[in-house]
């Protein structure tokens, strides 16, 4: 028996909770079982008697000496569902009577469409396996990559398809991975939304059949996000119960199919969206899928999101040069953004005046939004012409940037590189550069068209102008926007059979540009924005330091959006601006304190027209920005506990975060509208050190009552934090910090 075992040093920074100490990847030659252990998780699969790769186990970590029996194909169900379709395969080709979702579907040059993938060989890597599958007859190979994270037990899976036939093959469907769960009652969680209404946690009991979560839009989309979590049972619990979750690292069209099959097994298959898909693989060529990350927690959705947050911070987000905490993504600078104050009406003088006020508040970064370039007076013109508008900025950007620096802030700028207005010099010169089908209408959204970034010349143009902009100006940050979805996605440079490659090459070129910019300008940070939260996924997060979750900055709506967002993504990247009241979208009036506290749950920014703020407003914001700076790392990188969810019209909501060594915790509490005199519920805190003493200090709002300001972790967790009797009313907020003595 070959039994290889190795330990991997825990690569998480000291501020993260160590979930497990080691990982191992073992292959048992006798039983042909592959086993991966990491964190509190074991994942196992094996080669069955037919040669298929079959999933065996995904769940809580098993004993090191436990032996997993050899894979045995599942039974057939009469003459209608063969064992090929009932067996949970790791990566099933469409062929041999497969009726469930295939991982891979191809058409060969001779019209044959039967593909049956069997185990061919494997190698053990530093953190997992590369397993090669091969079609039973033809020279089509698939390399499945498995890489287990020692700390979190998150497994990264992807597939590379290689054509070694003498003729091209067309890939019609290619997943990154398929995950299987055995029969039980399950609740599916996923995130849905629309512009200004992203991040709705949608929960439903799984039934026989398929639930498809997808984007056909060319980019990630506001309408659904490539994340899922499946809970055992039909009564979801925030901190208890088994949860299997996953997220796709892809910013193009994607699909995750959650299927309850004939024998009540669950399969989750995800990767490129097969809708309108077709990738011609010439002899010797390869297609690499995105990565599909999967994880497990025995501590409910709360446990699942805490694991994912730590993984994102420790392994995915862009890291700085250095080691340990030095290298970790730093908490986001508190920004000021001009968009809601000035919209397109940016000028040197106007921006300088805003910068002066922003500096008074203690803001770290000043960001000028849309309107500074080309003939950009409104959204009808200018996109594509990335030269500074000389009427608005007669001396270029330098005087403004110098002023911002002199005020002690760094400077950020808005761009929307993949778009063009028909009313622009770029479009007049290169009408052939946009996605289109020749001779057909070109549908505009927000008066703009999508540049075909799959084209090498478009890629070079975008890389070129961004490189020049960053070389010629001292810019610390780009807000990278993307304000429409695709239509008429033609690419007539290529032969008709090849044009659908646009779905892959566009996104690959986007990543290539981002990677190259990071290389040439390593200090420049990036925000992924797509009219709000339309491009947030684990793919873009390898390049983006933060995201803009929504154009909806109403502080009450944001509570629910932020709640939904954090099921999949860490508050570290969740930018949240304080804007003006009444709010432009809902016409709701809220106090500045309420707005500040709502935004302080994530990475704080100011987006109001601060030139109109009075002394009291300036002093309030300044005080709370200073308080935020003191506890920011705990809020955005600590363990997040959603104590009371604001979902489903809740009267109250509350969150708590605890830092890695449990020395600090921050609590936020919000009242929507007090009814029938009900006081705020007792908040039983989580994650503290029961034996340590913690001092409670109000950051803002109603003081706690019923306890001295100092008590044990056990007190705060078992007895709970009681709010003052006066903490009542409409749109009220309070925040507290607890510091270990
Ligand atoms: C959409 C973004 O989400 C907004 O924040 C702003 O940048 C506008 N675009 C500018 O056009």
Atom of ligand 1 nearest to the CA of 479: 7
Q: Measured in angstroms, how far is the CA atom of residue 741 from the centroid of ligand 1?
A: 44
Ranges in the chain annotated CATH 2.60.40.1180: 642-740
Provide CATH 3.20.20.70 ranges for the chain. Answer: 367-533
Cα–Cα distance, 393 to 346 (Å, whole number): 9
In this structure, the residue with its CA closest to atom 9 of ligand 1 is: 531
- What does the pLDDT read at residue 7? 33
Cα pseudo-dihedral 722, 724, 727, 728, rounded to 10: 90
Output the residue whose Cα is nearest ligand 1's atom 6.
339
Ligand 1 pocket, residue 481 CB under 6 Å: yes
pLDDT at 707: 63
What is the CATH code of the structural domain delimited by 16-316?
2.70.98.60
Q: Checking DSSP bridges between strand 209-215 and strand 140-148, what pairing results, if any?
A: unpaired
Beta strands in 208-253 (DSSP E): 209-215, 224-232, 243-249
- Is residue 182 very low, low, confident or very high in pLDDT (cuts 50, 70, 90)? confident
Question: Is the pLDDT confidence value at 15 over 60?
Answer: no
Q: Which atom of ligand 1 is nearest to the CA of 548?
A: 3
Tokens of 408: 């002690």
* pTM, 2 dp: 0.96
Distance from the alpha carbon of residue 340 to the mean position of ligand 1, in angstroms: 9
Q: Using the predicted structure, report yes or no on whether residue 430 has a pLDDT greater than 80.
A: yes
Per-residue pLDDT, averaged over 264-274, amounts to 96
pLDDT value for 29: 97
Ligand 1 atom index nearest CA of 532: 3
**pLDDT tens column, 612-659:** 999 999 999 999 999 999 999 999 999 999 999 999 999 999 999 999
Contacts of 203 (CB under 8 A, 6+ apart): 187, 188, 189, 236
Give catalytic residue positions: 481, 551
pLDDT of residue 16: 32
In terms of pLDDT, which residue wins out, 423 or 319? 423
Parallel, antiparallel or unpaired: strands 279-281 and 140-148: unpaired
Mean pLDDT of 95-102: 96
Q: How confident is the model at residue 242 (pLDDT cuts 50, 70, 90)?
A: very high
**623 Cα–ligand 1 center, Å:** 28
Furthest C-alpha separation in the chain: 80
Would you say the CB of residue 593 lies under 6 angstroms from ligand 1?
A: no
Candidates 313, 247, 298; CA nearest to 635 is 313
Distance 483 CA to ligand 1 centre (A): 8
Question: Is residue 339 in contact with ligand 1, taking CB distance under 6 Å?
Answer: yes
The string of DSSP letters for 673-689 reads E--TTPPPPPB---S--
User: What tens digit of pLDDT does each residue of 274-295 get?
Assistant: 999 999 999 999 999 999 999 9
Nearest CA, atom 11, ligand 1: 370
pLDDT the model gives residue 458: 98
For residue 5, what pLDDT is reported? 33
> What is the mean predicted confidence (pLDDT) over 139-145?
99
Q: Quick one: pLDDT at residue 21? A: 56
pLDDT in tens, 526-576: 999 999 999 999 999 999 999 999 999 999 999 999 999 999 999 999 999
Strand partners, 227: 247
CATH of 367-533, one of 3.30.750.24, 3.40.50.620, 3.20.20.70, 3.50.50.60: 3.20.20.70
CATH of region 642-740, choose from 2.60.40.1180, 3.30.1280.10, 1.10.3720.10, 3.40.50.720: 2.60.40.1180
> Residues spanned by CATH 2.70.98.60 within the chain?
16-316
390 by Cβ neighbours in 10 Å (0-12 / 13-18 / 19+) ranks as: exposed
Residue 252 has pLDDT above 60, yes or no: yes
Instruction: Please indicate whether residue 370, judged by its CB atom, sits closer than 6 Å to ligand 1.
Output: yes
Strands (E), 165-322: 169-181, 186-192, 200-205, 209-215, 224-232, 243-249, 254-260, 266-272, 279-281, 286-288, 291-297
Average pLDDT over residues 483-498: 97
Q: Residue of the nearest CA to atom 5 in ligand 1?
A: 551
Beta carbons of 383 and 421 less than 8 angstroms apart: yes
Give the distance (Å) from ligand 1 centre to CA of residue 64.
52
**Residue 186 CB neighbour total at 10 angstroms:** 21
Report whether residue 296 contacts ligand 1, using a CB cutoff of 6 Å.
Answer: no
Closest ligand 1 atom number to CA of residue 530: 3
């Amino acid at each position: 028996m070959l039994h290889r075992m190795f330990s991997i040093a825990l690569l998480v920074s000291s501020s993260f909770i160590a979930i497990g100490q080691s990982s191992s990847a073992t292959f048992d030659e006798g039983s042909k079982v592959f086993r991966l252990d990491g964190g509190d998780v074991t994942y196992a699969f094996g080669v069955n008697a037919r040669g298929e790769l079959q999933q065996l186990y995904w769940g809580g970590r098993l004993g090191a000496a436990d032996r997993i029996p050899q894979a045995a194909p599942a039974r057939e169900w009469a003459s209608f569902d063969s064992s090929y379709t009932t067996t949970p395969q790791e990566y099933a080709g469409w062929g041999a009577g497969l009726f469930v979702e295939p991982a891979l579907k191809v058409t060969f040059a001779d019209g044959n469409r039967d593909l049956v993938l069997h185990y061919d060989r494997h190698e053990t890597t530093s953190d997992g396996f590369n397993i090669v599958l091969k079609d039973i007859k033809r020279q089509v190979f698939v390399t499945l990559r498995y890489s287990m994270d020692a700390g979190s037990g998150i497994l990264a899976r992807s597939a590379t398809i290689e054509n070694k036939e003498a003729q091209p093959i067309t890939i019609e469907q290619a997943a990154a991975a398929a995950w299987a769960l055995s029969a039980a009652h399950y609740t599916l969680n996923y995130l849905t939304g629309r512009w200004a209404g992203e991040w709705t946690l949608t929960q439903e009991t799984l039934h026989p059949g398929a639930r498809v979560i997808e984007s056909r839009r060319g980019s990630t989309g506001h309408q659904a996000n490539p994340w899922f979590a499946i809970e055992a049972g039909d009564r979801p619990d925030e901190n208890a119960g088994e949860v299997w979750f996953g997220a796709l690292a892809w910013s193009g069209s994607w699909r995750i199919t959650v299927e309850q099959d004939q024998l009540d097994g669950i399969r989750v298959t995800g990767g490129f969206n097969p809708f309108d898909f077709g990738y011609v693989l010439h002899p010797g060529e390869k297609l690499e899928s995105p990565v599909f990350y999967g994880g497990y927690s025995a501590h409910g959705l709360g446990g699942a999101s805490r694991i994912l947050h730590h993984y994102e911070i420790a392994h995915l987000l862009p890291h700085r040069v250095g080691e340990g905490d030095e290298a970790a993504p730093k908490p986001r600078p508190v920004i000021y953004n001009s968009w809601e104050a000035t919209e397109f009406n940016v000028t040197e003088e106007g921006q300088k005046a805003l910068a002066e006020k922003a500096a008074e508040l203690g803001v770290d970064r000043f960001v000028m939004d849309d309107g500074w370039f080309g003939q950009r007076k409104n959204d009808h013109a200018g996109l594509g012409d990335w030269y500074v508008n000389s009427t608005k900025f007669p001396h270029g950007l330098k005087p403004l940037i110098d002023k911002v620096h002199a005020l002690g802030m760094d400077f950020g700028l808005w761009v929307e590189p993949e778009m063009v207005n028909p009313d622009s010099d770029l479009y007049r010169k290169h009408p052939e550069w946009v996605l289109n089908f020749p001779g057909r209408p070109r549908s505009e959204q927000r008066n703009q068209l999508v540049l075909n970034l799959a084209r090498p010349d478009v890629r070079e143009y975008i890389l070129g102008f961004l490189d020049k902009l960053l070389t010629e100006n001292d810019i610390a940050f780009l807000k990278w926007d993307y304000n429409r979805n695709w239509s008429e996605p033609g690419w007539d440079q290529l032969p008709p059979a090849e044009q659908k490659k646009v779905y892959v090459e566009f996104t690959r070129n986007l990543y290539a540009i981002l990677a190259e910019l990071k290389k040439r300008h390593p200090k420049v940070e990036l925000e992924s924005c797509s009219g709000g939260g339309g491009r947030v996924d684990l793919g873009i997060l390898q390049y983006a330091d933060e995201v803009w979750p929504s154009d909806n900055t109403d502080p009450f709506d944001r509570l629910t959006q932020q709640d939904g967002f954090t099921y999949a993504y860490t508050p570290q990247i969740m930018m949240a601006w304080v804007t003006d009241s009444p709010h432009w979208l809902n016409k709701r009036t809220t106090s500045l304190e309420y707005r500040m506290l709502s935004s302080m749950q994530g990475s704080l920014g100011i987006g109001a027209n601060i030139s109109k703020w009075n002394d009291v407003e300036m002093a309030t914001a300044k005080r709370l920005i200073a308080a935020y700076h003191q506890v920011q790392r705990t809020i955005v990188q600590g363990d997040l506990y959603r104590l009371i969810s604001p979902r489903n019209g809740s009267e109250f909501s509350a969150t708590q975060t605890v830092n890695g060594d449990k020395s600090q915790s921050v609590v936020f509490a919000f009242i929507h509208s007090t009814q029938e005199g009900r006081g705020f519920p007792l908040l039983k805190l989580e994650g503290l050190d029961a034996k340590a003493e913690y001092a409670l200090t109000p950051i803002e709002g109603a003081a706690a009552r019923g306890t001295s300001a100092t008590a044990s972790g056990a007190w705060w967790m078992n007895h709970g934090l009681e709010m003052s009797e006066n903490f009542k009313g409409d749109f009220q907020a309070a925040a507290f910090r607890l510091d270990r003595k």
